[in-house]
């Protein structure tokens, strides 16, 4: 869904198959981490360069300068000029004041749409990640520009140089992943559907790292390597999340016992999500401890490593020292981290951690977050229902949504899930009923707006155009100002909804 199409083992896609004989444990299946390039990322970041994204231009890969020169030549055509002006007007209006953050939302967009020339959304509009909704209107303008410039031909011209980046950098990345897996002594089999993909994209600043975790299944890093700067520490941090995040699943009882420690961390400078979700706090603290124990600079003294621990705790990751001590013992044994972790979790004394937190002087600020999308380590039932629906399990989604309703957990969103499950089953009456319930009970304007839109589409399918128009108009009055909501409602006002071929339900 969020993965770019992969090629078989080649220069363009590297599968790091780590054979079990490299590990001091029983035979294991290979882990997956792929190094890749993406024409979609190229197209969107190249367009950003056309529209004024100049961050660290002089320090970037020569490929970036060469592509920009070709794009300037292509802009000599009046047709290209007109397309570029429309596209860049949108880009300037939506990029914000910070160049890195402005580009980040376009990187997210690239990870959530298909290949050129269609750039088809990989999700329904209502389910696109939040950081893409503001820039969805960029896609039709990009399509026009890509056709006018024959951007695909420019991509083909530079694709060999992109492939060469993979060949050049795969050894140090493979070495990092191998060393990490050997240290963790964890089973290398990865759950079906999960992946960690590193994209090489020289059209962005070599100092910028974009890391994403979508639904705790698809982990991405987008980097622009230059010389020896391949951001190994950030690559390893994201990889550690990829392999360790699942450890916290199904640990609800243990997490409930530890959750009281969050009350002592509300003044810490770390991101708010860690103050609300103890599972995320635990995993991030464990990762910080592993990084302190396995620094890339092997000459660091224990005193210097302990300083890393104290720095992490000063940001709010209060369990870093606890896990650091556990890792000292772990390194001397043969048990893998996956089997050791439950005992470590059981050994956390919430009262002792809270007392320790009172002795920590929190820093005035924390390091910027590497992972830009929240991990789904501990999900509410209704969020689990959303995830099940998105992963193609409507029956499971319905069960979870009904459980959420039984416990009065966000009923508006639960009804919204049930309505979409009903549309997938072709049960439009149940869909209408549940979208109506979502409208009456939901607190989120976006859920209300999209319930109106879906209701309008159902009414269009039932040839009730007059009532459909009422629903589309209501969607515009909900307070949801997202670009995709506005565009979908306005399309409904202009013409009756027509489902994609072979899909009778509204989407």
- Asked whether the predicted pLDDT for residue 215 surpasses 90, the reply is no
Which tens digit of pLDDT belongs to each residue from 235-266?
Answer: 999 999 999 998 987 788 889 999 999 999 99
* pTM of the predicted model as reported, rounded to 2 decimal places: 0.68
* Mean pLDDT value across residues 116-123: 90
pLDDT in the model for residue 479:
85
When pLDDT is cut at 50, 70 and 90, the band that residue 187 belongs to is low
Q: What is the CA radius of gyration of the chain?
A: 24
Which tens digit of pLDDT belongs to each residue from 472-499?
Answer: 999 999 988 777 788 889 999 999 988 7
Tokens 């005193």 locate to 303
When pLDDT is cut at 50, 70 and 90, the band that residue 8 belongs to is very low
pLDDT in the model for residue 24:
35
- 34 sits in which H/E element: strand 34-36
- Asked whether the predicted pLDDT for residue 409 surpasses 60, the reply is yes
Helix (H, G, I), strand (E, B) or coil at 490: helix
The residue ranges of DSSP E strands in 39-164, in sequence order, are none
pLDDT in the model for residue 130:
79
**DSSP strand pairing (218-223 vs 195-200):** parallel
**DSSP strand pairing (34-36 vs 195-200):** parallel
Q: Residue 257 has which token pair?
A: 């016992």
Q: Which of 332, 77, 49, 359 is nearest to 205 (CA)?
A: 49
Task: Judge whether 258 and 348 are in contact, CB under 8 Å.
Answer: yes
Helix (H, G, I), strand (E, B) or coil at 249: coil
Task: Judge whether 36 and 10 are in contact, CB under 8 Å.
Answer: no
Q: Calculate the average pLDDT of the chain.
A: 85
The whole-angstrom separation of Cα 443 and Cα 236 is: 39
- Asked whether the predicted pLDDT for residue 2 surpasses 60, the reply is no
pLDDT in the model for residue 321:
97
pLDDT higher for 100 or 296? Answer: 296
| Whether the bond into 117 is cis, omega within 30 of 0 | yes
The residue ranges of DSSP E strands in 247-335, in sequence order, are none
pLDDT in the model for residue 98:
63
Q: Residue 242 has which token pair?
A: 């990829």
The whole-angstrom separation of Cα 59 and Cα 278 is: 40
Helix (H, G, I), strand (E, B) or coil at 220: strand
Task: Kindly list the structural domains of the chain, giving each domain's residue range(s) and its CATH number in brackets, ordered by start.
Answer: 14-223 (no CATH), 249-358 (no CATH), 381-494 (1.25.40.10)
Residue 76, CA distances (Å) to 63, 70, 86, 89, 412 in order: 21, 11, 15, 18, 52
pLDDT in the model for residue 188:
60
When pLDDT is cut at 50, 70 and 90, the band that residue 373 belongs to is very low
CA 372 to chain CA centroid, Å, is 7
Residues 6+ apart with CB under 8 A from 175: none
């Amino acid at each position: 869904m969020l993965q770019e199409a992969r090629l078989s083992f080649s220069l363009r896609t590297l599968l790091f198959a780590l054979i079990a004989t490299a590990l001091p444990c029983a035979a294991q299946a290979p882990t997956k981490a792929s190094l890749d390039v993406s024409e979609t990322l190229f197209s969107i970041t190249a367009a950003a360069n056309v529209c004024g994204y100049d961050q660290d231009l002089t320090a970037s890969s020569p490929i970036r300068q060469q592509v920009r020169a070709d794009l300037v030549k292509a802009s000599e055509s009046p047709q290209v000029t007109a397309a570029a002006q429309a596209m860049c007007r949108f880009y300037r209006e939506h990029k914000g004041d910070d160049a890195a953050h402005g580009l980040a939302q376009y990187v997210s967009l690239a990870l959530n749409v298909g290949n050129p020339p269609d750039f088809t959304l990989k999700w329904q509009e209502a389910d696109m990640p939040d950081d893409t909704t503001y820039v969805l209107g960029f896609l039709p303008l990009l399509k026009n520009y890509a056709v006018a410039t024959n951007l695909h031909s420019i991509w083909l011209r530079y694709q060999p140089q992109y492939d060469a980046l993979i060949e050049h950098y795969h050894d140090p990345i493979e070495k990092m992943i191998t060393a990490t897996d050997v240290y963790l002594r964890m089973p290398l089999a990865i759950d079906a559907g999960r992946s960690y993909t590193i994209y090489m994209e020289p059209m962005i600043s070599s100092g910028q790292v974009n890391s994403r975790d979508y639904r705790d299944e698809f982990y991405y890093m987008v980097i622009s390597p230059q010389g020896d700067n391949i951001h190994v520490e950030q690559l390893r941090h994201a990889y550690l999340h990829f392999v360790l995040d699942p450890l916290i699943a199904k640990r609800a009882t243990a997490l409930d016992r530890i959750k009281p420690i969050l009350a002592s961390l509300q003044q810490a400078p770390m991101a708010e999500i860690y103050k609300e979700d103890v599972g995320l706090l635990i995993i991030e603290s464990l990762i910080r401890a592993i990084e302190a124990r396995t620094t890339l600079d092997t000459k660091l003294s224990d005193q210097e490593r302990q300083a890393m621990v104290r720095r992490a705790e000063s940001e709010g990751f209060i369990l870093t020292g606890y896990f650091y001590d556990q890792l000292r013992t772990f390194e001397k044994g043969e048990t893998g981290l996956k089997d050791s972790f439950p005992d470590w979790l059981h050994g956390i004394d919430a009262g002792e951690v809270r007392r320790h937190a009172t002795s920590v002087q929190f820093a005035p600020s924390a390091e910027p977050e590497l992972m830009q999308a929240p991990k789904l380590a501990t999900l509410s039932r209704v969020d689990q229902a959303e995830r099940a629906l998105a992963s193609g399990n409507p029956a499971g989604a319905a069960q979870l949504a009904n459980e959420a309703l039984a416990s009065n957990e966000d009923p508006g969103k639960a009804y919204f899930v049930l309505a979409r499950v009903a549309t997938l089953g072709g049960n439009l009456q149940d869909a209408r009923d549940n979208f109506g319930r979502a409208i009456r009970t939901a607190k989120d304007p976006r859920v209300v707006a999209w319930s109106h839109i879906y209701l309008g589409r159902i009414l269009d399918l039932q040839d009730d155009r007059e009532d459909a128009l009422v629903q589309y108009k209501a969607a515009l009055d909900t307070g949801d100002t997202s670009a995709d909501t506005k565009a979908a409602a306005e399309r409904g006002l202009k013409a009756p909804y027509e489902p994609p071929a072979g899909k009778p339900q509204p989407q």
